[in-house]
Amino acid sequence: MTINPQLNADGSLRHLLTIDGLPRAILTHILDTAEGFISVSEQEVKKVPLLRGKAIFNLFFEPSTRTRTTFEIAAKRLSADVINLNINASSQSKGETLLDTVDNLAAMQADMFVVRHAQSGAAHMIARHVAPHIHVVNAGDGRHAHPTQGLLDVFTIRKYKGEFHNLRVAIVGDVLHSRVARSQIHALTTLGVPEVRVIAPKTLLPVGVEQMGVHVYHDMLQGLKDVDVVIMLRLQNERMRGARLPSSQEYFKYYGLTQEKLALARPDAIVMHPGPMNRGVEIDSSVADGKQSVILPQVTYGIAVRMAVMSILAGN
Amino acid sequence: MNLPSANSLIAQLAATIKPTLTSNTVLVGMHTGGVWAAEHLHPLLDGNMPHGSLDISFYRDDFERIGLHAQVKPTRLPFEVEGRDILLVDDVLYTGRSVRAAMNALFDYGRPAKIRLAVLIDRVGDRQLPIAADFVGAALHVPGHQHIHLVRDGDLQLDLKLVDIS
């Protein structure tokens, strides 16, 4: 029995559920493999035959057009058969029904499940349940993890900055509710980024976040000073109406990224955002569309990274 | 077994290939040994000829058995493949499966007018597909328990080496 449920007995990757606990060598292997897949999108025929004949089920218990689409494109560029299932979680009786669904799809000769679920741990539960030949990719579970997003973010950073060992990276915004932030932090620290900062009001930071190896700032003007990478997090407008924040205007004033605040970072700093963006809430349009923004390349690279993950899993 | 010198094979190949080149010819090396060989051939043929590199990892037919190759290199073809006369270069032609994969990969970039194959070593006797090289440095019989590889010492020096299969 292996300690990490993501790994086979020989240490190779069987599922991708979280970046937490994955060795640097596996992350680097995924990033290196993704480099090779970038050229596939430049081909006349944007497909390679690696996963021909494989059936990949996108199980989305929570709506997400962007993530589902990029997984679908990635799988299709690998020549897999892709089946998209948008499942309304409220109609499920949780746990048992989820596994019943999985069992039925496995009986349809599924080779891989890409799972998005509002409950943390859903992908882990499926991974523990499925037959050995079936692979599971977590496409976001609750507040827990979104490992392919974390990987595409570090891939983007490597494309623009080359190395990790000399970088200062700031993650700004709603860390508390963000599975993306957790995966980003694990990926960045595993790959050797020496200084990862989180910048957020106290109400949007998880208790004990320092134990993840990050430096905490509540003042954006201090936190952005001399950073190489600024990662903005999405802030859902409905959360604004809760007690954690007074208003979107006030949030933008203190934690929204403007050209003036970005000027505190290094002149060659890049700006990232996992999308979809709330313009005028967490990021100003002039920054989102500005020359330091790499938000759209992130989307492009996300396809190559997901192709790498799926092909590595299928090959193991 | 005494192996021929890689550099002498490259010089010999260049002399044979050069009269056949046209303005439409491009050079494509197959990772990894073929890329090294193509890099050495390039200045001997025509230093201005467009050249690129091809990784066939995504087109291999043994993915189901051995998974993805550990070191996938990006494919770089900085020219239109459509209608070109492609000179494909590899270090060793053995079963023919790598060349089959390379041709499939090239056709996903466009429809070449012609593909010709140049190899340093034609390992004869173990072909598994109906593929033959147009230009051969040397034809060799190699025992089944051995592989023959091109190795690079530094940036310039290339050598051929026999390796026992464990």
Structure tokens at A91: 């109609």
Please answer whether residues A265 and A307 qualify as being in contact, where contact means their C-beta atoms are separated by less than 8 angstroms: no
Quick check: is B69 in a domain? no
Bridging pattern class, strands B157-164 and B114-123: unpaired
**Inside any domain, residue A6:** no
Rg of chain A, C-alpha, whole Å: 19
| pLDDT at site B1 | 75
Establish whether this prediction's ipTM goes over 0.85.
Answer: no
Residue A94 in this model has a pLDDT that exceeds 60: no
Contacts of B93 (CB under 8 A, 6+ apart): B99, B117, B119, B121, B122, B123, B131, B133, B136
CATH of the domain at B15: 3.40.50.2020
Tell me, yes or no, whether A210 and A188 share the same domain: yes
Out of A37, A45, A316, the one facing B67 most closely (by C-beta) is A316
| CA–CA gap between residue B2 and residue A292 (Å, rounded) | 57
Looking at residue B155, its pLDDT comes to 65
Sign of CA dihedral A219, A225, A230, A231: negative
- Looking at the fold, whether A171 and A113 belong to one and the same domain comes out as no
Residue A276: asked if its preceding bond is cis (omega within 30°), the reply is yes
Give domain status of residue A19, yes or no: no
CA distance A283 to A168: 20
Give residue B154's pLDDT.
73
d(CA A36, CA A31): 9
Q: Tokens for A189?
A: 């620290």
> Both A163 and A183 in a single domain?
yes
In a domain, B67, yes or no: no
Best mutation site among B55, B72, B106 for testing chain A: the one with the most A CBs within 10 Å?
B72
**Residue B63 falls inside a structural domain:** no
In order of A2, A87, A130, A279, the CA distances from A110 in angstroms are 24, 17, 10, 39
Average pLDDT over residues A170-196: 95
Do A290 and A136 contact (CB within 8 A), yes or no? no
What CA–CA distance (Å, rounded) separates A217 from A254?
12
Q: Do A48 and B108 touch (CB under 8 A)?
A: yes
Counting the structural domains of chain B, the total is 1
Q: How far apart are CA A64 and CA B77, in angstroms?
A: 35
Mean pLDDT of chain B: 92
B93: which strand partners?
Answer: B122
pLDDT band per the 50, 70, 90 thresholds, residue A143? confident
Residues A96 and A123 in one domain: yes
Q: Answer yes or no: are the C-beta atoms of B157 and B139 closer than 8 Å.
A: no
The whole-angstrom separation of Cα A250 and Cα A212 is 28
DSSP for A207-244? TTGGGGT-EEES-HHHHTTT-SEEEEPP--HHHHTSTT
Give the type of residue at A66: R
Residue with more model confidence, A154 or B71:
A154
Q: Are residues A158 and A60 in the same domain?
A: no
Torsion sign over Cα A155, A161, A165, A167: negative
Q: Report pLDDT digits (tens) over A248-271.
A: 888 899 999 999 999 999 999 999
Say if residues A273 and A234 touch (Cβ distance below 8 Å).
yes
Q: In sequence order, which residues have a C-beta less than 8 Å from that of residue B43 and are 6 or more positions away? A: none
Which chain B residues are closer than 8 Å to A80 by Cβ? none
Residue B108's pLDDT is: 94
User: B99-126: per-residue pLDDT in tens?
Assistant: 999 999 999 999 999 999 999 999 999 8
Is B140 within the bounds of a domain? yes
CB-CB neighbours of B87 under 10 Å: 25
Residue B144 located in a structural domain:
yes
What's CA A80's distance to the chain center, in Å? 22
Count CB-CB contacts under 10 A for residue A184: 30
The predicted pLDDT at position B156 comes to 65
- A223 domain residue, yes or no: yes
Q: What is the pLDDT of residues A196-244, one digit of tens each?
A: 999 999 999 999 899 999 999 999 999 999 999 999 999 866 554 555 6
Residue at A240 is within a domain: yes
Per-residue model confidence (pLDDT) at position A95: 59
| Residue A2 pLDDT exceeds 70 | no
- B59 CB neighbours in chain A (<8 A) are 48-49
pLDDT-based confidence at A15, cuts 50/70/90? very high
Question: In terms of domains, do A87 and A201 share one?
Answer: no
- Domain assignment present for residue A35? The answer is yes
Residue B26's nearest CA partner among B10, B44, B42, B40 is B42
B52 inside domain: yes
pLDDT at B67: 84
**pLDDT over 70 percentage in chain B:** 98
Residue B64 lies in a domain: no
Residue A68, domain member (yes or no): yes
Contact B57 A44 (CB under 8 A): no
Total number of domains constituting chain A: 2
Instruction: Report whether pLDDT(A301) > 90.
Output: yes
Chain B interface includes A39 (CB < 8 A): yes
**Terminal Cα-to-Cα distance of chain B (whole angstroms):** 19
Residue range of the domain that includes B116: 6-58+74-164
Q: Is residue A7 part of a domain?
A: no
Domain residue limits at A210? 148-293
Q: What is the pLDDT of residue A239?
A: 53
- A48 in B contact zone (CB under 8 Å): yes
pTM comes to 0.90
Same domain assignment for residues A157 and A275: yes
**Residue A252 confidence (pLDDT):** 92
Instruction: Give the number of A-B residue pairs with CB atoms closer than 8 Å.
Output: 52
In chain A, % of residues over pLDDT 70? 93
Look at residue A90 and tell me whether its pLDDT is greater than 80.
no
Q: Tell me the CATH number at A57.
A: 3.40.50.1370
Distance, in Å, from the CA atom of B56 to the CA atom of B94, rounded to the nearest integer, reads: 15
Q: Does A35 touch chain B if contact means CB atoms closer than 8 Å?
A: yes
Percent of residues, chain A, with pLDDT higher than 90: 78
In a domain, B1, yes or no: no
Q: State the residue for tokens 């003007």.
A: A221
Instruction: Tell whether A115 and A168 lie within a shared domain.
Output: no
B68: pLDDT confidence band, cut at 50, 70 and 90? confident
